[in-house]
Amino acid sequence: MEPQYTVLARRFRPQTFSEVVGQERVAQTLRNAIHEGRVAHAYLFTGARGVGKTSMARIFAKALNCPFVKDGVPCNECEQCRGISVGQDVDVSEIDGASNRGIDDIRSLRANVNIKSMRSKYKVYIIDEVHMLTKEAFNALLKTLEEPPPMVKFVFCTTEANKVPDTILSRCQRFDFGTISTDNITIRLRQLAEAEGFQVDEAALELVARRAAGSMRDSQSLFDQLLAFGSDHITSADVHRLLGTAPDDRLTGLIDALIERRRDEALVRLDDALREGVQLEAFTDQLVAYFRDLLVAACGAGDVPLLSVGNDCREILRQQSQRWGLQTIATGMQILAESKARMQRVTYGRALAELALVRISLLEDLDRLDDLIAQLKGGVVVSQAATGTPRNLSATPGTGSLPPQPPLSPPPVSSRPSPPVPTEKKNDVVASPAPKALAEPVPISNNPNTERKTNFEWKPGCEKDLQSLIADRLNDIAGTSVRRASSLAIIGPNVLEFSIPINYDVERKTLERPDTIVRLESILAEVAGQPVRVRFRSAEAVGPVSKPTAVAAPVNRAQIVDEPEDAYLQQVTGVFGVKSWKVKDVVVEAVESDSTEVQSE
């Protein structure tokens, strides 16, 4: 019978503190604590998966119980060390917190914790994935964890320390395990390849190390799979075929196509990669990591390690980041990240990937947009809406900067001081100042008989003339609405108040439109020679004249008309689609007044 194969991660598991790669700080602290006799009763090891938490806990247990320990280093030859290494020592209990998470399991632990150790100095309880314990189990463990028997030690291992209650954390010494660098993983994989008798290219080792993302156990699992997949000589192509990833030159070529907006070539490169066996999910992860590396290069962080390609591509990344710009890279990375999140929930992942590539190719140079905004804020570039003169807002090709423009001269300021605006009444509606960009020339009536007044005397008492002047300038429905205002009132030197009857809803909505307010204030500023604000208030409803009791019965004469003579009724006919009007002339003999009642049909 052939012996059972043991995976690399178990066969080459660290046996001493020095063999735990990347956790020298934690190892040195534990060795000093054992050497000086300052061992705490409970420890919490937290960090990402595969960084050596459980291995460190076993080594710590061996160092506590090894009879031949020297300077905190176990001998790994005695019976206790060998039993702990394989997880079969009676005094060291390894408990899976995910499957033994209930209160009954903790009660069993509490019942056994007072039993003296069989052959070792300490009883050690290693609880892996301790965050999986229930709330009741944690509560049952509190008292025992705070005051355990003198020869009992607890070591808790978890990847999610935030799920451990604070009452537990406060009773433990916490050690945070960091992720392992790519260089350290590469060194360890090279040692494993030599021990196994395989020849592996350096590029292949770097690919596996980058794919492990800081986890030593993940890198060893991938490397074990690679040794079974390849031959005696393993290259980077073998790694790409195994992992379903694309080589570095394919990534750099695709990004060049996106920068130069060759969308057809970008889609063809994606299709070629999928045809050659590259997995879409893995390829999308590579693109996200590549944009991250572009971001690092654009920020000038030359010492930060790359995640998607080798160090030999760092110069290519720097050139691409300079051609594209930091803002564009950040936006493209966000597009890819959103597409990656959506791809996990749908079956049309390729379409989403192609859409993301096309969207990225459509991005302009967003860094130049920041320059444009800065120049607009400084008054260097003047828009056509503000001056009436068109300006060229495009940047000079190849420079990334805008051509110089003459500064915008400030508007004339009135020499008279502006008194404070009086407080508005409860029902008043004050129009807020419109943005300057909305300002436009006021249309002037084409009627030659209309005289344009520029020296109008702005003072109370001239409201009637002012109402006629404004209505003549606004030769549309707005002018008609001004005529139908019940009254105008000049309040102070810079406020004009329109009184609109409550039942004139169409007139109110017409005059309160932002563009109408801009036109009104422009006319008033020209007439008064200073900025004038307009506001509106509600007046009493206008209704039919009440008939006295002693007045004789009126005589009614009605007729049907298609197009009324009144200009306001003509506007209403066009807006609301009225077909005909029924006009009644009401003649009241006793009052000697003539009124007309109009009813639409």
Residue 326: inside a domain: yes
Phi, psi (degrees; rounded to nearest 5) at 158: -155, 150
CATH code of 74's domain: 3.40.50.300
- Looking at the structure, tell me whether residues 263 and 287 fall in a common domain: yes
Distance separating alpha carbons of residues 354 and 287, to the nearest angstrom: 12
- Looking at the structure, tell me whether residues 168 and 25 fall in a common domain: yes
**For residues 133 and 574, which has the higher predicted lDDT (pLDDT)?**
133
Residue 398: inside a domain: no
- Looking at the structure, tell me whether residues 161 and 238 fall in a common domain: no
Give the pLDDT confidence score for residue 220 in this predicted structure: 92
- Looking at the structure, tell me whether residues 193 and 249 fall in a common domain: no
Give the pLDDT confidence score for residue 393 in this predicted structure: 40
Mean pLDDT of 451-476: 72
Task: Compute the radius of gyration of the chain from its Cα atoms.
Answer: 42
Distance separating alpha carbons of residues 457 and 479, to the nearest angstrom: 21
Interval 57-109: pLDDT, tens:
999 999 999 999 888 889 989 999 999 988 888 899 999 998 988 999 999 99
Q: How many CA atoms lie within 13 A of 297 on its CB side?
A: 25
Distance separating alpha carbons of residues 209 and 239, to the nearest angstrom: 11
Distance separating alpha carbons of residues 419 and 416, to the nearest angstrom: 9
- Looking at the structure, tell me whether residues 28 and 131 fall in a common domain: yes
Distance separating alpha carbons of residues 93 and 299, to the nearest angstrom: 49
Give the pLDDT confidence score for residue 138 in this predicted structure: 93
Give the pLDDT confidence score for residue 320 in this predicted structure: 93
Strands 42-47, 173-177: pairing kind: parallel
Residue 406: count other Cβ atoms within 10 Å of its Cβ: 11
Question: Mean pLDDT lowest for which of 118-127, 299-308, 464-473, 586-595?
Answer: 586-595
Take residue 370 and report the two structure tokens written for it. Answer: 């920041």
Residue 390: inside a domain: no
For 124, the enclosing helix (H) or strand (E) is strand 123-128
Distance separating alpha carbons of residues 235 and 204, to the nearest angstrom: 6
Query: Considering the chain, what is the average pLDDT of its residues?
Result: 79
Interval 39-55: pLDDT, tens:
999 999 999 999 999 99
Residue 380: inside a domain: no
Question: Mean pLDDT lowest for which of 129-143, 193-207, 407-421?
Answer: 407-421
Residue 25: inside a domain: yes
Residue 514: inside a domain: yes
Give the pLDDT confidence score for residue 389 in this predicted structure: 41
Question: Mean pLDDT lowest for which of 260-264, 267-271, 305-309?
Answer: 305-309
Give the pLDDT confidence score for residue 571 in this predicted structure: 73
Total of domains in the chain: 5
Expressed as residue numbers, the domain containing 210 is 182-242
Distance separating alpha carbons of residues 209 and 187, to the nearest angstrom: 9
Check residue 126 and report its DSSP letter: E
DSSP per position, 52-114: SHHHHHHHHHHHHH-TT-BTTB--S-SHHHHHHHTT--TTEEEEETTTS-SHHHHHHHHHHTT
Q: In b/e form, how buried is each residue of 86-118, taking b as 16+ CB within 10 angstroms?
A: eeebebbbbbebeebbebebbeebeeebeeebe
Residue 397: inside a domain: no
Distance separating alpha carbons of residues 442 and 322, to the nearest angstrom: 48
- Looking at the structure, tell me whether residues 469 and 585 fall in a common domain: no
Give the pLDDT confidence score for residue 5 in this predicted structure: 76
- Looking at the structure, tell me whether residues 570 and 527 fall in a common domain: no
Give the pLDDT confidence score for residue 338 in this predicted structure: 94
- Looking at the structure, tell me whether residues 209 and 308 fall in a common domain: no
- Looking at the structure, tell me whether residues 118 and 230 fall in a common domain: no
Asked whether residue 343 carries a pLDDT value surpassing 80, the answer given is: yes
Last residue of a domain, one of 242, 269, 286: 242
- Looking at the structure, tell me whether residues 17 and 143 fall in a common domain: yes
Residue 460: inside a domain: yes
- Looking at the structure, tell me whether residues 349 and 457 fall in a common domain: no
At 561, the pLDDT band (50, 70, 90 cuts) reads: low
Take residue 363 and report the two structure tokens written for it. Answer: 């991005």
- Looking at the structure, tell me whether residues 577 and 523 fall in a common domain: no
CATH code of 333's domain: 1.20.272.10
pLDDT over 90 percentage in the chain: 41
Take residue 236 and report the two structure tokens written for it. Answer: 């980077």
